Amino acid sequence: MQIINRLDLLKSELESVRDSGASLGLVPTMGALHAGHMALVTAAKARSDKVALSIFVNPKQFGENEDLDAYPRQLQADADLCRDAGVDLIWAPTPTEMYPAGFSTSISVSGVSEGLCGGNRPGHFDGVALVVAKLFNQVQPSHAFFGEKDYQQLAVIRRMAIDLDFPLEVVGVPTVRDEDGLALSSRNAYLSPEERAKAVALPDNMKLAIKKMQAGENIALVLKEASDAIVKAGFKSVDYIELRNAQTLEKMEKYDSPARLIAAAHIGPARLIDNMAA
Ligand code: AMP
């Protein structure tokens, strides 16, 4: 398995993959890999002959007061996991390789990027769209794999891939959770053992809210109760907890299928997100 951090070296490596006629799957990540990321690798291996995994903590998707500097970076451990999982190539560019001096382009996907995390993190999805578009052009995969864990991100990328005619298939992979139900996230590493124990209140209350909404209870009331219960259980605040159409991400005033319950909340130093089919 090669670890490549220069674009010219990536290009020549990928030429030989293409010459061999192999299909190539891309798994974009920010590193600090866990079993959630590895589920994307498993899906990629099932769908493509060769798998490239990118590791890049993308400064353009972090707001000014967010955790760019604190974000965990552990390339060696990540490389070991990737080697064991049969990844063929790690693409780990430096920030200046990705955004050289003079870089001036932006990408903005309207509609699905508005509200939810787009409301709380202005510019976040512009940064995501930009880096993913660059990764698509750099790697030119036949398939690209993204987690449903970042449900709005997946919707933004699907939209962008259609709108900009990227010749590839975007594949969504279900969320991998810890035994107690908390979605795996690199940011769970920020939590103390006490905070980690309390964090399960997020998925627990989401599940409860889904049951109530499916039983016909008033959506606004159920979501308010869930938000209050999450804070009562030890979260500092809830950025949002909303029922959306699972495909368009439009707000739902009354329950209908297919729906998705999507939430973000702060506990200790971490902002956790989650979503579930509802
Ligand atoms: P990140 O490194 O957090 O940017 O995540 C890289 C990719 O892994 C994204 O497509 C995420 O949606 C996906 N991912 C992160 N956590 C999980 C999880 N628990 N289950 C499935 N996919 C995940």
Blockwise average pLDDT, block size 10, the chain, 278 residues: 97 94 98 98 98 98 97 98 98 98 98 97 98 98 98 98 98 98 97 98 98 96 98 98 96 92 98 98
pTM of the model: 0.98
The rounded distance, in Å, linking the Cα atoms of 168 and 34 is 25
Distances (CA, A) of 263 to 34, 189, 205, 244: 21, 19, 11, 11
Best residue among 27, 30, 34, 40 to mutate for probing ligand 1, ranked by most atoms within 8 Å of CB: 40
pLDDT computed for residue 253 by the predictor: 84
The one catalytic residue among 37, 124, 143, 266: 37
Cα atoms in the Cβ-side hemisphere of radius 13 Å centred on 73: 11
- Would you say the CB of residue 155 lies under 6 angstroms from ligand 1? no
Virtual CA dihedral for 184, 190, 195, 199, nearest 10 degrees? -30
Helix, strand, or coil (residue 113):
coil
Q: How far is the CA of 223 from the centre of ligand 1 (A)?
A: 25
pLDDT computed for residue 175 by the predictor: 98
Distances (CA, A) of 68 to 12, 92, 130, 257: 31, 16, 17, 37
- Would you say the CB of residue 124 lies under 6 angstroms from ligand 1? no
The yes-or-no answer on residue 37 being catalytic is: yes
- Would you say the CB of residue 88 lies under 6 angstroms from ligand 1? no
